[in-house]
């Protein structure tokens, strides 16, 4: 079915892929078990508990956090959402286009490109939800959440963070001819974001131009919003800016992804 004759509602078509992605996860979940379930605990213990013993818990220096663990835990949570997305929409998307050519089989059926993308992104959001839910469960016994509602709202925020990264990275991957660019994506994209977006230290400690650059990144918006929820220091105006920024980025990435994959599948 061509794009013009595809069903008007892509959600119904994407739902037809539920069986496929369920089978994929059943066959591959063991490979992601350590990164999804063990890494969160190790991150919190190593960076928050052990390293945190050497850092004084000054709320004036830690954006309102009374300990370094309370400061770093929400940053690590948002970073986990980002890292999960990077792993799910780079090589797997390339494989579905170039190696296994799964997408070609899907679009040979009545499924449209939009439905294929939505189905894949739905699976990615499932992975983000699962890994971040585990991370929140690991964080909870350490007393980093000031309120229960902050812990509950932190999870949908991670889905928004994940989606803000997933759609543009998916679009970038969809137009690549080979995987050689992924090394730069991880080294010059994911790692600098992980280190300099406020997860480990306040970005106000950076030089002014670097602080402005850090605050322009989606991860900083995710980290700051997650930290506000965790510490119960939510400012409504700032929170709305964070949500709007992430939502707009996700929407722009979606349209770019549809355009890039459609061109790739027909070229």
pLDDT given for residue 1 in this prediction: 42
pLDDT given for residue 4 in this prediction: 43
CB burial string 212-221: b at 16+ within 10 A, e below: ebbeebbbbb
pLDDT given for residue 58 in this prediction: 65
pLDDT given for residue 41 in this prediction: 77
**Which residue from 59, 51, 50, 82 is spatially nearest to 196, judged by alpha carbons?**
82
**Contact assessment for residue 35 and residue 133, using Cβ atoms and an 8 Å cutoff:** no
pLDDT given for residue 70 in this prediction: 86
pLDDT given for residue 54 in this prediction: 66
Q: Which stretches in the chain have pLDDT values below 70? A: 1-8, 48, 52-54, 56-58, 60
Q: What is the pTM of this model?
A: 0.90
pLDDT given for residue 218 in this prediction: 96
Residue-wise pLDDT for 215-228, tens only, equals: 999 999 999 999 99
- The rounded mean pLDDT for the chain is 88
Helices (H), the chain: 10-15, 18-33, 39-43, 68-88, 91-94, 102-107, 113-139, 148-174, 182-185, 191-196, 208-215, 218-231, 236-266
pLDDT given for residue 50 in this prediction: 75
Distance of CA 196 to the CA centre of its chain: 16
């Amino acid at each position: 079915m061509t794009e013009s004759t595809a069903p008007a509602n892509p959600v119904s078509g994407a739902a037809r892929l539920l069986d496929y992605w369920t089978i994929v996860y059943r066959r591959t979940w063991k490979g992601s078990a350590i990164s999804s379930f063990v890494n969160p605990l190790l991150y919190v213990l190593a960076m928050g508990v052990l390293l945190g013993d050497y850092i004084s818990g000054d709320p004036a220096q830690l954006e309102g956090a009374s300990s370094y663990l309370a400061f770093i835990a929400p940053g690590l949570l948002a970073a986990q959402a980002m890292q999960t997305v990077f792993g799910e929409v780079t090589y797997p998307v390339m494989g579905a286009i170039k190696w296994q050519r799964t997408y070609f089989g899907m679009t040979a059926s009545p499924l449209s490109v939009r439905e294929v993308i939505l189905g894949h992104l739905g699976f990615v959001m499932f992975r983000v939800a699962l890994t971040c839910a585990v991370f929140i469960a690991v964080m909870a016994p350490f007393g980093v959440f000031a309120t229960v509602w902050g812990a509950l709202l932190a999870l949908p925020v991670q889905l928004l963070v994940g989606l803000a990264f997933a759609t543009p990275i998916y679009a970038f991957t969809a137009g690549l001819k080979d995987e050689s660019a992924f090394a730069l994506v991880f080294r010059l994209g994911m790692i600098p974001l992980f280190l300099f977006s406020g997860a480990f230290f306040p970005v106000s400690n950076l030089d002014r131009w670097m602080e402005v650059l850090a605050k322009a990144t989606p991860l900083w918006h995710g980290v700051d919003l997650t930290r506000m929820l965790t510490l119960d220091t939510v400012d409504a105006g700032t929170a709305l800016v964070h949500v709007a920024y992430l939502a707009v980025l996700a929407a722009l990435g979606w349209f770019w992804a549809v355009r890039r994959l459609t061109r790739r599948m027909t070229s």
